[in-house]
Structure 1
Amino acid sequence: MKITALKTFMQRVDDRPRLLVKIETDEGISGWGEAYNHGPDWALPPLLEYMFNYLVGEDPRRVEYLVLKLNQQCRFPPGALGLAAISVIDHALWDIAGKAAGLPVYMLLGGHVRDRVKVYCGVYTAPDPEHALDQTSELHEKYGYTAFKLSPYRRDLHAGRWGELVKETGDYFGRVRALTPSHFEFAFDAHAKIFEPYQAVQLAQAIASHDPYFYEEPIRPEHIPAWRELKSKVTVPLATGESLYNRFEFLSLLSAQGADIIQPDICVVGGLSEMRRIAALAEAHYATVAPHNPMGPLATAVNIHFAAAQPNFKVLEFKPHIHAPWAIDPYIPVDGHMELRPDRPGWGIEIDEKVLATDDYIHWERKVTRKPDGSTAYP
């Protein structure tokens, strides 16, 4: 079996652009992947076209060999765009390997260690407690969710006294706990907006008494010693990792005992192959893995196969999609879990290529926050 072509299709999932990639072979078996668009959305297709020169004529089932080849042809370690391209190629190759073997990808990884994959839903705001009850109850009734993620900020964290925000957050979580069923789990994503670590500690203390599922990325990821210090001072599960790129960065974080839960993104770190290395490192440090997944149906499918086969997997982020017409049969939560598809080879999801005939691009950009004094901050 030989690789003959690589095709890209610019699409979207809800209000975000997403690039789909198809790798074709001379035996009629094709594989699919969904790329993470990091910023310059149209930079990925020519980069993938360049990388295809290293793949054409190769056996797609040699996933490890080909991913190593793509990494090793780089003079310097690949950054966000390079790893996004390598990730999507890795995923398309695994899809081909599964289809060629007539097996789900998780069976090629040693088989499933769990029968279904737990998911949580990101609400991404801090709705009024009564509204939070309505939202979570609706998601529970429709999909069986019992785990959710909220924002800890009820207002602009740069406006007003920090201590007021901290108190408001603690009171808010207490009210949410009082209104919602006691078995519901609530995580809080601080979106790396806090610059001073002591403030991250104070916010953690405000929510600690109400038992958060986890406290995600309160500070920036770059300075690992700050994470060691932070974790030593908080009593809630500390999670981070969506902005880290490879096993070496995660090894630094884990060696510093900087997190309880790591959150690598399978479409950012270099694909399923690198994701498994990262997860193995976490397992050796008694840390669990809760993959970052703001992506579409295809990337979700890849995450499900990873989670099915990974012993220290904890929970998968998944928000139901409104617009992703190219996915014929996406995985949908049942009883708060994704069911495996043992009778479906590859990723177990079908792509409607007729829909892909038309580009469905939508522009999206991250808005930089302005502080009251006119300076900028992370959004």
Structure 2
Amino acid sequence: MKITGLRTFMQRVDDRPRLLVAIDTDAGITGWGETYNHGPDKAYPPLLEFLLTQFAGDDPRRISYIHQKLLQQTRFPPGALGLAAIAAIDHALWDISAKALGVPVYQLLGGHVRDRIRVYCGVYTAPETDEAVRQVMALHEEFGFTCFKLSPYRTNLHVGRWGEMCAAAGKWFGEMRARLPSHFELAFDAHARIDEPIKAIQLAEALAPHDPYFFEEPLRPEHMAAWGRLRAQMTVPLATGESLYNRWEFLALLQAGGADIIQPDIAVVGGMTEMKKIADIASAHFVTVAPHNPMGPLATAHNLHFSAACTNFRILEYKVARNAPWAVDQYLPKDGYLDLRPDRPGWGMEIDTDALKVDDYIHWERKVEVKPDGSTAYP
């Protein structure tokens, strides 16, 4: 079997852009992958066309060989866009290989160690307790979610006294705990917006009395030693990793004792091939994996197969896709879990290629935040 071509499709899922990648073979088997939308998203098609020159004509079942060749051809570490493109290619190759054998992808990973995948959903837009509770309960009624991720910020973290901000976060968490069923898990994502470790510790202390499921990414990811010191002073589970790119960065984080839970993104780190190595390193450090997944239905399928075969998997982030016409039969939660599809080869879902004929791209970008003194901050 040989690779004969690569196609890209600019699409959207709800209000975010998504780029799908198809790799075709001379056996009539097509594999599918999805890139991470770091931006600029329109840089991906020419980048992917260039990368195709490195593996056109290769046997798509030589996944590790092609993955390694793509990493080596860049000479320097490929960075955000390069790794996202490689991830999409990697996932298309896993899809082809599994379809050629007539099995789900997770069978190629050693088989499933669990029968279904627990998922959680982010609820970030509700400014008031009543609305937040309404959104949480609506998602529970529709999909059975019992785990949710919230934002801890009830006020602008760059305005006013930090102690007041922490107190407001703790008070609000207590109100949510009192209003929601006691068995619900509530995690908090600080979105790497806190500049100083001591402030992250103070916010964690404000949340701790109400038993957060985890406290995610309070700091920027670059300085691993700071994560080790932060973890040593916290009494709540610390989660991070969505902004890390490879096994060596995760190894440095884990050697520093900087996380209880790691959150690699399968579409960021270069795909399933790298994701498996990262999970194995975490397992050796007694750390669980909760994949970062704010993506579309196809990326969710990639994550589901990884999670099915990962022994130290904890929970998967899931973003409800209300408008993705190309995803014919996306994985939808039931009772807060995604079921496996053992009788369906590859990723186990179909792509409507007719729907992809329409370029449904929508522009989206992060806006840098401006502080009261005119300086900038991460959004």
Structure 1 and Structure 2 fold alike (TM over 0.5): yes
Aligned residues: 379
1:147 corresponding residue in structure 2? 147
1:225-244 matches, within 5 Å, as 225-244=225-244
- 1:344 maps to which residue? 344
Deviation of the 1:129 alpha carbon: 2.0
Per-residue deviation, 1:126:
5.1
1:304-360 Cα offsets, whole Å, 9 max, x none, are 000000000000000211111110000000110000000000000100000111111
1:105-124 equivalence runs, <5 A: 105-124=105-124
2:360 counterpart of 1:360: yes
Following superposition of structure 1 onto structure 2, how do residues 74-93 of structure 1 map, counting pairs within 5 Å? 74-93=74-93
Query: Aligned partners of 1:91 and 1:125: how far apart in 2?
Result: 32
Return the offset for 1:14.
1.0
Task: Write the distance in 2 (CA, Å) between the matches of 1:298 and 1:101.
Answer: 20
Alignment of 1:56-205 (within 5 A): 56-125=56-125, 127-205=127-205
Cα distance in 2 for partners of 1:372, 1:65 equals 51
Once residues 233 and 174 of structure 1 are traced to their aligned partners in structure 2, the CA distance between those partners, rounded to angstroms, is 22
Q: Distance in 1 between matches of 2:351 and 2:104?
A: 16
Aligned to 2:2: 2
Please identify runs of 4+ aligned residues in structure 1 that moved more than 3 A: none
The secondary structure found in structure 2 opposite 1:193 is coil
The structural deviation recorded for 1:124 is 2.1
What is the TM-score when the length of structure 2 is the normalising length? 0.99
2:307 is matched with 307
Deviates most, 368-377 or 131-140:
131-140
* Secondary structure at 1:139 match in 2: helix
Residues of 1 paired with 2:232 and 2:125: CA distance? Answer: 28
- Deviation by residue 1:112-156 (Cα, 9 ceiling, x = unmatched): 000000000011245422222211111111101000000000121
Question: How many angstroms does 1:4 deviate by?
Answer: 0.2
Offset of residue 370 of structure 1: 0.7
Matches of 1:125 and 1:274, distance apart in 2: 33
Provide the rounded CA distance (Å) in 1 between the counterparts of 2:180 and 2:129. Answer: 9
| Superposition deviation, residue 70 in structure 1 | 0.6
1:37 corresponds in structure 2 to 37
Quote the Cα distance in structure 2 between the aligned partners of 1:127 and 1:273.
40
Query: In 2, distance between residues paired with 1:272 and 1:70?
Result: 14
Where 1:37 maps in the other structure, the secondary structure is coil
Q: Partners of 1:125 and 1:18 in 2: how far apart? A: 22
**SS of equivalent to 1:9:** strand
Asked whether the 8 Å contact 1:214–1:237 carries over to 2, the reply is yes
Distance 1:157 1:125 in 2: 16
Q: Distance in 1 between matches of 2:160 and 2:368?
A: 19
Q: Distance in 2 between matches of 1:236 and 1:126?
A: 24
Q: CA separation in 1, counterparts of 2:306 and 2:347?
A: 10
Alignment of 1:255-334 (within 5 A): 255-334=255-334
With over 3 angstroms needed to count, the CA separation of the structure-2 counterparts of 1:282 and 1:33, relative to structure 1, is: same
Q: What amino acid is the match of 2:269?
A: V
TM alignment of 1:17-36, pairs within 5 A: 17-36=17-36
Structure 2: distance between partners of 1:145 and 1:323: 20
What is the percent sequence identity of the aligned residues?
A: 68
- Report if aligned partners of 2:151, 2:189 keep a CA contact under 8 Å in 1: yes
Q: Contact 1:13 / 1:321 at 8 angstroms: preserved in 2?
A: yes
Q: How far apart are the structure 2 equivalents of 1:219 and 1:55?
A: 38
Q: Residues of 1 paired with 2:133 and 2:124: CA distance?
A: 14
8 Å contact kept, 1:126–1:150: no
Separation in 1, partners of 2:39, 2:59 = 32
Distance 1:358 1:147 in 2: 36
Mapped to 1, the partners of 2:322 and 2:378 lie a distance apart of: 28
* Counterpart-to-counterpart distance in 1, 2:224 and 2:125: 27
Where does structure 2 lack aligned partners over 5 or more consecutive residues? none
Work out the CA distance in 1 between the residues paired with 2:34 and 2:75. Answer: 26
Kept after mapping to 2: 8 A contact 1:67/1:86: yes
Give the partner amino acid of 1:97.
S
CA distance in 2, matches of 1:244, 1:46: 24
**Take 1:204 and 1:11, find their aligned partners in 2: how far apart are those partners?**
38
Match of 1:38, SS state, is: coil
